[in-house]
C-alpha cells in the first residue's frame, strides 16, 4: 500500500556519509553471540530525554528526525522498553523514501520492532500504531519479550490470548526469557534472544531505564555504536535524565564510560554526537 506523500521523509545522501563508520556491518559473523548494537536517543542540553516520566517529549528537529529514520533503515530491528511503548504509542517503522511501504517493495529496509515487556503490560493492541502500520504494509509487526513465568501465568487469561492472536495475525510474535532474578532481563539474554530470532543489528531507542542500563559499566561493552542527538533546549528539573549508575574502583568514584572515535555532526539546529564505547578508558 502506497504511503501518502506527506508521510515520506527524505535524507540527503551527503548527510549519510558522516554516519557510515558507525553503522552495522552488512555481514555479521555467524559465530557472534549478539547483533550489532547501536544505542541512539535525543537529549536536551540538561541531559533529559523527556519532561517527566510517561510524558512524550519531542526534541529532534526535522533533519534529525529524518536521520533517525535513515538509521532505522540500516538496522534489522528497533528496540524499546514497554514504558516508552505505553507512553508514546510509537510507530516504530521507517518512513524514509524508498523503503518498503514508502516507495520501496514489500517491507525492504523496514526494521522489526522489539518491545521489552517483562510483565506483559502492553495491551490494547488494536489501538497501537505499530499494529496498524503492520496491517497496512508500512512496517513489521513487533516481537514482544516476556518473562517466561509471566507467560505461563497469563495463558489462561482470555484477554491475553486475544492479544497474542492479534499480534500473530499481523506477523508478530513473542520471545520468552527466564531472568535469573527479579523482573529485569539480563542484556546478554536479550541480545542472545535477538540473534536467535534472526536479528543481525538492533537500534536501541529507549526509554530512560533502557538507556541508563546500557550505559552502565556492566552493559556498556555490549554496545557497538552510540549516536546521540542534542537539541538546543533545557527541559528543567523533574525530567527523565540520561545518567547511569555511578561506578567505583577501590571505593573511589570514577567515570562510568567514555566514547572514542567521536564525530560531531551539525544537523539543522541540533548537533549529533557519534562514537564507540572506549573499553580501555
Q: How confident is the model over 126-137, as pLDDT tens digits?
A: 999 999 999 999
pLDDT computed for residue 251 by the predictor: 87
**Phi, psi (rounded to 5 degrees) for 226:** -130, 125
Whether 260 shows a pLDDT value over 70: the answer reads: yes
pLDDT computed for residue 3 by the predictor: 40
Whether 4 shows a pLDDT value over 50: the answer reads: no
pLDDT band at 61 (very low <50, low <70, confident <90, very high): very high
Percent residues over pLDDT 90 in the chain: 75
Whether 262 shows a pLDDT value over 80: the answer reads: yes
In this prediction the pTM is 0.93
pLDDT band at 2 (very low <50, low <70, confident <90, very high): very low
In terms of DSSP H, where are the helices of the chain?
Answer: 13-16, 62-73, 82-88, 129-135, 148-154, 158-169, 187-196, 208-215
Q: What angle do CA 152, 218, 237 make, to 5 degrees?
A: 90
**Phi, psi (rounded to 5 degrees) for 249:** -125, 120
Instruction: Summarize pLDDT for 28-41 with one digit per residue, the tens.
Output: 555 578 999 999 99
110 close to 99: Cβ distance less than 8 angstroms = yes
Between 243 and 5, the more confident residue is 243
**Cα 6 from Cα 24, distance rounded (Å):** 29
Helix (H) or strand (E) holding 28: none
The predicted model gives 91-109 an average pLDDT of 95
pLDDT band at 275 (very low <50, low <70, confident <90, very high): very high
38 close to 203: Cβ distance less than 8 angstroms = yes
**Cα 19 from Cα 119, distance rounded (Å):** 36
225 close to 25: Cβ distance less than 8 angstroms = no
Decide: helix, strand or coil at residue 200.
coil
The predicted model gives 204-210 an average pLDDT of 94
Instruction: Summarize pLDDT for 134-183 with one digit per residue, the tens.
Output: 999 999 999 999 998 888 888 889 999 999 999 999 999 999 998 755 66
114 close to 199: Cβ distance less than 8 angstroms = yes
Burial of residue 23 (CB within 10 Å: 0-12, 13-18, 19+) is buried
Whether 272 shows a pLDDT value over 50: the answer reads: yes
Decide: helix, strand or coil at residue 259.
strand
Amino acid at each position: 500500500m502506497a504511503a501518502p506523500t506527506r508521510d515520506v521523509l527524505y535524507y540527503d545522501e551527503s548527510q549519510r556519509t558522516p554516519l557510515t563508520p558507525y553503522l552495522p556491518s552488512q555481514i555479521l559473523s555467524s559465530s557472534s553471540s549478539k547483533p550489532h548494537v547501536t544505542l541512539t536517543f535525543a537529549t536536551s542540553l540538561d541531559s533529559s530525554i523527556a519532561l517527566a516520566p510517561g510524558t512524550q517529549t519531542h526534541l529532534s528537529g526535522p533533519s534529525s528526525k529524518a536521520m533517525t529514520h535513515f538509521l532505522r533503515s540500516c538496522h534489522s530491528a528497533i528496540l524499546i522498553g514497554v514504558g516508552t511503548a505505553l507512553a508514546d504509542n510509537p510507530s516504530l517503522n521507517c518512513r524514509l523514501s524508498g523503503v518498503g511501504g514508502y516507495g520501496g517493495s514489500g517491507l525492504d529496509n523496514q526494521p522489526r520492532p522489539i518491545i521489552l515487556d517483562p510483565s506483559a503490560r502492553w495491551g490494547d493492541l488494536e489501538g497501537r500504531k505499530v499494529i496498524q502500520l503492520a496491517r497496512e504494509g508500512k512496517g513489521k509487526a513487533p516481537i514482544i519479550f516476556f518473562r517466561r513465568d509471566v507467560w505461563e501465568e497469563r495463558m489462561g487469561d482470555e484477554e491475553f490470548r486475544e492479544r497474542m492472536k492479534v499480534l500473530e495475525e499481523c506477523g508478530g510474535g513473542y520471545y520468552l526469557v527466564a531472568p535469573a532474578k527479579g523482573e529485569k532481563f539480563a542484556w546478554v539474554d536479550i541480545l542472545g534472544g535477538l540473534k536467535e530470532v534472526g536479528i543481525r543489528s538492533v537500534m536501541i531507542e529507549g526509554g530512560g531505564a533502557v538507556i541508563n542500563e546500557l550505559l552502565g559499566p556492566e552493559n556498556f561493552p555490549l554496545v557497538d555504536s552510540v549516536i546521540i542527538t542534542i537539541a538546543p533546549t533545557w527541559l528543567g528539573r523533574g525530567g527523565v535524565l540520561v545518567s547511569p549508575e555511578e561506578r567505583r574502583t577501590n571505593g573511589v568514584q570514577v567515570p562510568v564510560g567514555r566514547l572514542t572515535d567521536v564525530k560531531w555532526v551539525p544537523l539543522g539546529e541540533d548537533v549529533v554526537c557519534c562514537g564507540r564505547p572506549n573499553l580501555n578508558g
